[in-house]
């Protein structure tokens, strides 16, 4: 979305509309691509950030994510991250042991994991590794996030939630 406006513009729009809401409103940066963008969003008033270092190797993803999570923690802002390749091939699904290490080393407050979903539209019927959700849930203490749910059936989403997904995008 940053190609259509600035984080400051979006924050101002949401703040104006939030004043009319009867429920609490948060503004979440989804798939932040850099430390700088995450900091711009936080400075603009975003109340939650997601840093997506999944395009990097494991150690680079940890370094970037930890840097954002450390700032977010000091400011009491939730920080989500992504591990694995959502929309990737089966061998890019999140490894449960890596998920444990990643969450512990970065200090994120939630973790998006790859189990066979994809961002955007599906070309075919998605095949989910729901057992992997259970395995990751057993190893990781932070809430798990399911990205790419727009093309899933209600039953698939329910199964993922049953196995430990806490947030569904």
Residues involved in catalysis: 30
How far is residue 88's CA from residue 92's CA, in Å, rounded to a whole number?
A: 6
Helix (H, G, I), strand (E, B) or coil at 90: helix
Contact 37, 3 (CB under 8 A): no
Cβ(65)–Cβ(53) below 8 Å = yes
d(CA 49, CA 69): 9
Q: Measured between alpha carbons, how far is residue 90 from residues 50, 55, 85, 97 in Å?
A: 23, 16, 9, 16
- Scan for tokens 């930890």, then name that residue: 66
In degrees and rounded to multiples of 5, residue 30 shows phi and psi of -100, 135
């Amino acid at each position: 979305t940053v190609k259509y406006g600035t984080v400051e513009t979006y924050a101002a729009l949401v703040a104006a509309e939030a004043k009319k809401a009867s429920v609490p409103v948060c503004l979440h940066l989804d798939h932040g691509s850099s430390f700088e963008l995450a900091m711009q969003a936080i400075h603009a008033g975003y109340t939650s950030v997601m840093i997506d270092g999944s395009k990097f190797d494991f150690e680079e993803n940890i370094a970037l994510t930890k840097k954002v999570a450390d700032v977010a923690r000091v400011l009491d802002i939730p920080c989500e991250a992504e591990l694995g390749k959502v929309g990737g091939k089966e061998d890019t699904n999140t490894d449960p042991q890596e998920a444990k290490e990643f969450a512990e080393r970065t200090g994120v407050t939630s973790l998006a994991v790859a189990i066979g979903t994809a961002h955007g539209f599906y070309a075919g019927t998605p095949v989910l590794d729901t057992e992997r959700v259970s395995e990751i849930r057993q190893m990781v203490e932070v809430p798990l996030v399911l990205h790419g749910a727009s093309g899933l059936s209600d039953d698939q989403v329910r199964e993922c939630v049953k196995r430990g997904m806490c947030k569904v995008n």
